[in-house]
Structure 1
Amino acid sequence: MNNKARSLLWNIRQFSTLLPRSGALRIYTLGFCRPEVIHSKWNPRNHLLNGFDEGLQPSVRYLFQDKFISKSVDGCTQTKGISHAATFKLDRILCPRRLSFDAKHSFVSDGTSDHDLMKTNFHHTSSEDVLTKKTRPTPVNYKKLAQECNSLGDVLDTFSKAPTFPVSNYFLAMWIIAKRISEDKRRFEKQLMFSHPAFNQLCEHMMREAKIMHYDHLLFSLNAIVKLGIPQNTLMVQTLLRTIQERISECDERCLSILSTALVTMEPCMNVNALREGLRILVDQQVWDIKHIFTLQAVMKCIGRDAPSALKKKLEMKALKELGNFSVLNSQYMFEVLAAMDHRSVVLLNECSKVVIDNVHGCPFKILISILQSCRDLRYQNEDLFKSIADYVATTFDIWKLKHVIFFLLLFEALGFRPPGLMDKLMEKVVQEPGSLNMKNIVSILHVYSSLNHVHKVQNREFLDALASALTGCLHHISSESLLNAVHSFCVMNYFPLAPINQLIKENIINELLTSGDTEKNIQKLHVLNTCLKLDESTYKSVHIPLPQLPLSASYPNAKLAEVLSMLLEGEGCFSRNVQLPHNYHIDFEIRMDTNRTQVFSFSDVDASSATNMQRVAVLCVPKSAYCLNSHHLRGLMAMKLRHLNGMGFHVILIHNWELKKLKMEDAVTFVKKKIYSDEVLPTTDTTV
């Protein structure tokens, strides 16, 4: 018997074992065979968000692609006018071996033509098929399932009774249920989900169906699985990641959005990194074809901080091109997107800021916080944007929780922006309701007000007293570091509460701070405490905390200012550079003048330096960071330094680095001369020395 005849007989035998007496069979992934009517008019790509569960079936694989059997079966001869045929849908996983046929051999009777085969009717309308249609399981609708079930376990129970394809519906239903329940209940439901007997079976089905499932369904499944808290290192998640990699060429714009959303929440691993690299290549090719803004933003957020700068620039240009189509939500979300990809596009941020300012009223708390956090991460400072948010919060102060207001102020402090109206509102609330403060609130408020050096014109003393009283009530359970942070903030504001300081200077507390936690930062704050107790008007001048000596910070006085002083004072004998002072202070330049600041004394002139009318002048070069944003309001630590230098007998002159840098040498000499000499008398250089 030749090979062709052997192949023919083998295939007929295989087919006869599978062919039922009537109707058609669908082979399920669980191995169950159930009768089913095959419909010809079904959409092979039912979208997930448009009720893909209605009429959803796996890919149809006909045993005979273009030929049908037309021979006698059970003694009945099939005539030329064939009206129906038996077809099969086979699961690729359970039936990996496909029947093969020789193209030269046809399984059609001699009297059947190709034209007759074109008239074949796929709708089997026999009475038996009507009965099988009633027994066919209806594909599950994930939205309906989420409405009918009250817990994740209910979904798994439904799956175990009658599994249907695709199983992504069950994961989606569980995620919808998980979103609508409380955090505590969600945690409990997830524990029950992992211990449910049908959960492992559901995961096995997911892995088997991954290769035949529509690509967008596969991506939705991954997104739901990750958000349900299933560990990323499990075989199922890694299988999905690998399958998505293999089929990434099927990714369209909709799939790009789903995949980007899923990858953003995933931790780096080999498969995630490989998939992200593939996504970057795909985005680089398709960026100009993206039509939806939210898809563009999802992709921008996903590509990561380490993406090539050329790709980031291309995405920025695409966003600028679509700027006219941005909605208010798009503009608000763009801050978070740019921060996620670590790309500071000032033009894009400025345009989005205008939209945020115009629509700030009614903006949710989470969005406002996200905008401020993104500005902090991108080092983007827009005073108009910050002022509009601060004014909105101050205007609607009564509708905000205390912790929300404090959160806003912490972000403003990180941005260097001082909102006086909002800070005054909070001071009034603290004075009126000091009992509403907990320990965390107290430490945060003290940090913000000391850092931004905010002082109320009327209620400042009452405000500090209220905070000190509230802090005293928390001393029995406050940690050593929190106590140090609070007392440090009080000292910066020149306020010394007795009970907290007495608690802090205990030997066991000091030893704990010097040996645990961030010891370097603790030592610096304890040095500030020591300095304030000595130089400020406090009752603790005799207290000295033994601390390790801080290393002297390297100081590089402004070279241009040194040249200006040399020209102005005709030589370097009349000023000194980088002067180290007690209590770890140093000044950039020191000049010795008379008390009226009309005459400069030389350092070599002993008589002049010992004169009773001598005034020591400290010239400090200060950066913009020493001031609050776009203002001349000094921040807390610099204000404390000026206070202490004045206490040590210095007259302090501040020279702004950014202003001096812009001036030519002649203008710089005039600028510094006006700063040094008294406003009443501005003598020439010749008469000064």
Structure 2
Amino acid sequence: MSLNVMRRSLRLSVNSWKTFSDISQSSRRHFVRVDETMVAKELASINRPVRSQWQNSSLGTLQLNDSVFSLEEGSSDPKNEELLYYELLEECNSPLEVLELSQRQPPLPAEISNCLTRMWTCAKMASEEQRRRHLQLILKHPGFELLLQNAMTSLGVMQNEDMAYSLLSMVHLGVPEKSRVVQMYLRTCQERLNDLDEKSLSILVSCLERLDNTANVNALKRGLRLLVEARLEEMESVSALQIAVRVLGGDMPLDIKRKIERKAFQMAERFDVSNAQYLIFTMADMGFRSRPLLDICSQRIVENMAEIPLKRLLKVTAAFRELRYKNVALMSAVSDRKASAIA
């Protein structure tokens, strides 16, 4: 049913409410007095851009552009509402457009991370000079301060993955590390550390790699190391093993290194070519050299050589040089691939 039809069929004037209150109890069953929240969600699903214009009435009706009307309960779907907002974000082509949207329609807690992520995605797609200019304008924009305030007040009800994505996007966008919002998110991550799943942990590790060693960052890193060491025996996925290598780094104790190698042998059949490449790059970045792990990764790359672009192979060989690792079978396969590409 369109919004105009609903207005024509359900419109009530404010002055008519007294008349309604005098109607007999038996007649009132034909009218529905709904919760204000359900009304707001219904309007958002019908015409999302009007969400910021509504005001709740003590009479259980919704006032919009001087019109007062009631809606039947149960016709709103929060998932549809969130999807509609996500579609509006996808139409934004710059960080400033995202901020303008967030000012017109303040995001719900589940939508804040989408706003921040979309801002960074738009900035990342611009040229380096444009990106620098965008980031300067963002930090001065009044809408960005409002969005960060919303992010702070909504943190208590935010999902762990949304929290991690929000923190990572704020760091990318240049929010100062010592700002109140970043420090609040870091402390909350410490409090929820035991509840984070693999994806949220991976996002958090990516964020910490971009932060300086402040008190909260160091405390969170120590907590991550303890958590990873405690969960090492329970790890069942290659992605968890990759997180362990990123968190523990090249200076991990020898006994922990042996545990990781044993886990890698147990998971050898689960390694695919993407896992192998990612783990090699991670080990090179961390300065973590483990010949058993590198042997497993090399074998997967040789077996799937035709699937890997030549530029990617060159990056793999560069990572091997950093790790001082040599594998005759791999180097021969890479040489053959180069020769075939030139021919």
Q: TM-score, normalised by structure 2?
A: 0.71
What is the number of equivalent residue pairs in this alignment? 284
Residues 471-504 of structure 1: per-residue CA shift (max 9 Å, x gap): xxxxxxxxxxxxxxxxxxxxxxxxxxxxxxxxxx
The residue that corresponds to 2:47 in the other structure is: none
The residue that corresponds to 1:315 in the other structure is: 260
- The residue identity in structure 2 corresponding to 1:348 is L
8 Å Cα contact 2:238-2:275 kept in structure 1? yes
Which of the residues 323, 329, 336 maps onto 1:384?
329
The residue that corresponds to 2:208 in the other structure is: 263
Residues 579-627 of structure 1: per-residue CA shift (max 9 Å, x gap): xxxxxxxxxxxxxxxxxxxxxxxxxxxxxxxxxxxxxxxxxxxxxxxxx
The residue that corresponds to 1:149 in the other structure is: 92
Q: CA deviation at 1:251?
A: 1.5
The residue that corresponds to 1:358 in the other structure is: 303
Structure whose residues are more often helix by fraction: 2
Which of the residues 236, 240, 247 maps onto 2:192?
247
The residue that corresponds to 2:117 in the other structure is: 172
Find the aligned partners of 1:190 and 1:206 in 2 and give their Cα distance. Answer: 18
8 Å Cα contact 2:198-2:239 kept in structure 1? no
Q: Aligned to 1:198, what secondary structure does the other structure show?
A: helix
The answer to whether the aligner puts 1:340 opposite 2:285 as a matched pair is yes
Higher relative contact order (CA 8 A, sep 6+): 2
Judged with a 3 Å threshold, the aligned counterparts in structure 2 of structure 1 residues 233 and 368 are, in CA distance, closer, same or farther, namely farther
8 Å Cα contact 1:223-1:262 kept in structure 2? yes
The answer to whether the aligner puts 1:24 opposite 2:24 as a matched pair is no
Find the aligned partners of 2:284 and 2:198 in 1 and give their Cα distance. Answer: 23
The residue that corresponds to 1:275 in the other structure is: 220
- The residue identity in structure 1 corresponding to 2:105 is A
Judged with a 3 Å threshold, the aligned counterparts in structure 2 of structure 1 residues 362 and 35 are, in CA distance, closer, same or farther, namely closer
Q: Which runs of 5+ in 2 are unaligned?
A: 1-32, 43-59, 61-68
Q: Aligned to 2:142, what secondary structure does the other structure show?
A: coil
Judged with a 3 Å threshold, the aligned counterparts in structure 2 of structure 1 residues 143 and 133 are, in CA distance, closer, same or farther, namely closer
8 Å Cα contact 2:251-2:288 kept in structure 1? no
The answer to whether the aligner puts 1:215 opposite 2:155 as a matched pair is no
Find the aligned partners of 1:177 and 1:160 in 2 and give their Cα distance. Answer: 18
Q: CA deviation at 1:141?
A: 5.4
8 Å Cα contact 1:226-1:232 kept in structure 2? yes
Judged with a 3 Å threshold, the aligned counterparts in structure 2 of structure 1 residues 178 and 294 are, in CA distance, closer, same or farther, namely farther
- The residue identity in structure 2 corresponding to 1:153 is L
Judged with a 3 Å threshold, the aligned counterparts in structure 2 of structure 1 residues 24 and 189 are, in CA distance, closer, same or farther, namely same
* Root mean square deviation, CA, Å: 3.2
Find the aligned partners of 1:142 and 1:345 in 2 and give their Cα distance. Answer: 46
Residues 275-309 of structure 1: per-residue CA shift (max 9 Å, x gap): 11111111122233334322321332233233333
Find the aligned partners of 1:344 and 1:196 in 2 and give their Cα distance. Answer: 46
8 Å Cα contact 1:149-1:155 kept in structure 2? yes
The residue that corresponds to 2:72 in the other structure is: 130
The answer to whether the aligner puts 1:285 opposite 2:230 as a matched pair is yes
8 Å Cα contact 2:261-2:292 kept in structure 1? no
Find the aligned partners of 2:222 and 2:331 in 1 and give their Cα distance. Answer: 36
Judged with a 3 Å threshold, the aligned counterparts in structure 2 of structure 1 residues 316 and 232 are, in CA distance, closer, same or farther, namely farther
Q: CA deviation at 1:171?
A: 0.6
Find the aligned partners of 1:268 and 1:215 in 2 and give their Cα distance. Answer: 23
- The residue identity in structure 2 corresponding to 1:309 is L
Find the aligned partners of 2:221 and 2:227 in 1 and give their Cα distance. Answer: 10
Q: CA deviation at 1:24?
A: 3.2
Judged with a 3 Å threshold, the aligned counterparts in structure 2 of structure 1 residues 352 and 301 are, in CA distance, closer, same or farther, namely same
8 Å Cα contact 1:37-1:129 kept in structure 2? no
- The residue correspondences of 1:416-495 to structure 2 (distance < 5 A) are none
Which of the residues 159, 162, 187 maps onto 2:132?
187
Judged with a 3 Å threshold, the aligned counterparts in structure 2 of structure 1 residues 383 and 267 are, in CA distance, closer, same or farther, namely farther
Judged with a 3 Å threshold, the aligned counterparts in structure 2 of structure 1 residues 162 and 146 are, in CA distance, closer, same or farther, namely closer
8 Å Cα contact 1:24-1:37 kept in structure 2? no
Find the aligned partners of 1:250 and 1:264 in 2 and give their Cα distance. Answer: 21
Q: Aligned to 1:267, what secondary structure does the other structure show?
A: coil
Q: Aligned to 2:251, what secondary structure does the other structure show?
A: coil
Q: Aligned to 1:344, what secondary structure does the other structure show?
A: coil
Find the aligned partners of 1:288 and 1:277 in 2 and give their Cα distance. Answer: 19
Judged with a 3 Å threshold, the aligned counterparts in structure 2 of structure 1 residues 36 and 237 are, in CA distance, closer, same or farther, namely same
The residue that corresponds to 1:11 in the other structure is: none
8 Å Cα contact 2:271-2:300 kept in structure 1? no
Find the aligned partners of 2:310 and 2:217 in 1 and give their Cα distance. Answer: 32
8 Å Cα contact 2:250-2:287 kept in structure 1? yes
Judged with a 3 Å threshold, the aligned counterparts in structure 2 of structure 1 residues 384 and 220 are, in CA distance, closer, same or farther, namely same
Find the aligned partners of 2:83 and 2:175 in 1 and give their Cα distance. Answer: 22
Kindly, what percent of the aligned residue pairs are identical?
A: 33
Residues 47-78 of structure 1: per-residue CA shift (max 9 Å, x gap): xxxxxxxxxxxxxxxxxxxxxxxxxxxxxxxx
Find the aligned partners of 1:372 and 1:141 in 2 and give their Cα distance. Answer: 45
Find the aligned partners of 2:317 and 2:85 in 1 and give their Cα distance. Answer: 37
Find the aligned partners of 2:291 and 2:135 in 1 and give their Cα distance. Answer: 43
Q: CA deviation at 1:243?
A: 1.1
Q: CA deviation at 1:36?
A: 4.3
Judged with a 3 Å threshold, the aligned counterparts in structure 2 of structure 1 residues 138 and 334 are, in CA distance, closer, same or farther, namely closer
Judged with a 3 Å threshold, the aligned counterparts in structure 2 of structure 1 residues 186 and 177 are, in CA distance, closer, same or farther, namely same
Find the aligned partners of 1:269 and 1:37 in 2 and give their Cα distance. Answer: 42
The residue that corresponds to 1:297 in the other structure is: 242
The residue that corresponds to 2:104 in the other structure is: 161
8 Å Cα contact 1:312-1:343 kept in structure 2? no
8 Å Cα contact 2:135-2:173 kept in structure 1? yes
Q: CA deviation at 1:139?
A: 3.6
- The residue identity in structure 2 corresponding to 1:128 is S
Residues 498-555 of structure 1: per-residue CA shift (max 9 Å, x gap): xxxxxxxxxxxxxxxxxxxxxxxxxxxxxxxxxxxxxxxxxxxxxxxxxxxxxxxxxx
Find the aligned partners of 2:257 and 2:113 in 1 and give their Cα distance. Answer: 33
Find the aligned partners of 2:119 and 2:90 in 1 and give their Cα distance. Answer: 10
Q: CA deviation at 1:190?
A: 2.1
8 Å Cα contact 1:257-1:299 kept in structure 2? no
8 Å Cα contact 1:253-1:290 kept in structure 2? no
- The residue identity in structure 1 corresponding to 2:35 is A
Judged with a 3 Å threshold, the aligned counterparts in structure 2 of structure 1 residues 342 and 316 are, in CA distance, closer, same or farther, namely farther
Find the aligned partners of 1:259 and 1:275 in 2 and give their Cα distance. Answer: 10
- The residue correspondences of 1:373-412 to structure 2 (distance < 5 A) are 373-397=318-342
Find the aligned partners of 2:70 and 2:324 in 1 and give their Cα distance. Answer: 72
Q: Aligned to 1:223, what secondary structure does the other structure show?
A: helix
- The residue identity in structure 2 corresponding to 1:24 is D
Q: Aligned to 2:108, what secondary structure does the other structure show?
A: coil
Judged with a 3 Å threshold, the aligned counterparts in structure 2 of structure 1 residues 253 and 290 are, in CA distance, closer, same or farther, namely farther
8 Å Cα contact 1:232-1:238 kept in structure 2? yes
Find the aligned partners of 1:186 and 1:222 in 2 and give their Cα distance. Answer: 19
